[in-house]
Structure 1
Amino acid sequence: MTSFHDLRHTYALRLLDFLMRLAVAREAVNRGGASVADHIAFNPLLIVSRSLSHPNPATTYEYLRHLEELMHSSMPRSPSSTSSRVVCIPLDDPAGHATVTELSPHPWDAKLLDDLTSFDGDLVVASFRAGQLIRVDPATGRSCVLVTGLHMPCSVRVHRGFGDHDPRRELFMTEASGRIVKVTVG
């Protein structure tokens, strides 16, 4: 059973992950030209610390161990493209991104990827159009379908280190309707 405390931790990790990605993007745009005041005002750890009402920001630093050095994302080649690429983006050099795999290279097989997450060393990608969760090996780009028959999956997450769920075997997927589905792998 998921507790309020589990949800609080999940919220904090998602917010920190989002804010860290946003900070990297802001740095790329500013090219290091942001002022000290900008860095203080937009400090992801302080924002999360304040939103959780942590009396000591050091408490929030514990969340950093759950974040990765590389960010993976699903993105089309262009706004009008139907390609379904998974890319690896180094956080210290966002412009240096590289394609991990192309899951639907043909327009008639467009998967329309939505969200993805790290899972047991691999990536799991939600395919909105195909109704699938697809497992991708980030080192080789090889993929396989984990689950099919889903109704417009738009988010997939691993329950990382909180509660009694096994992050090596269990995923949580949200459909466009808002329904949350627990998926056990293996």
Structure 2
Amino acid sequence: MNKHKHNINDFRKYKDKVNYLISLQSIYLALLNKYATIELKRRSVKSTVTLPFLCVSRITFSQLDSILVWKFIEDKIHHIFVLETKNNIGKTIAASHIKKNRLNISIQLLEDFLFEKGYRYMYSLFYRKDGTIAGEVNIGIYCNNILKYDINAIKTIGSSINHYLTDQLKNNPTLDITKGDPIIYNLLNK
């Protein structure tokens, strides 16, 4: 992946960071919808502070190419939990990492799918309140070497896509977003 380092301070608050990551996840799902049908499932837990995390159940590229995303993510976070407990991290602390790991693995998987379709990314470091490096986050999405979405577009467009999808999931346990959905396309290109 194309990793350019730029310093930004937008993510000092947990809520801001999570909202941004969920907006990023929503943009990725909308971009991936150009190539695949995406099945979302309603979460049993409601988010009260941050934007709601979108649970991707399945991504279908063709009749013979379908991925059970939710199973893959759950297997991966269980594997991380087991590794952490084997490395003398307490079960309570390892369990507290599950939510963060679920979001990060979901985003990494979607990035990998889009990377195969020609998308590239620009990353930036983000810092803790004490000034130490906490990690890196995608702040730009490129296609054909052209910046398609910068940090502000990711925040605004991603949150509007997230609101639309969570509204659709309020009345249904699952939601199939058919390949090339025109509403998603319009939200993505605002």
TM-score range with shorter-chain normalisation?
A: under 0.3
Instruction: Give the number of the structure whose residues are more often strand, by fraction.
Output: 1
Of structures 1 and 2, the larger Rg is shown by: 1
TM-score, with structure 1 as normaliser:
0.24
Q: Which structure is higher in RCO with an 8 Å CA cutoff and minimum separation 6?
A: 2
TM-score, with structure 2 as normaliser:
0.24
Instruction: Give the number of the structure whose residues are more often helix, by fraction.
Output: 2
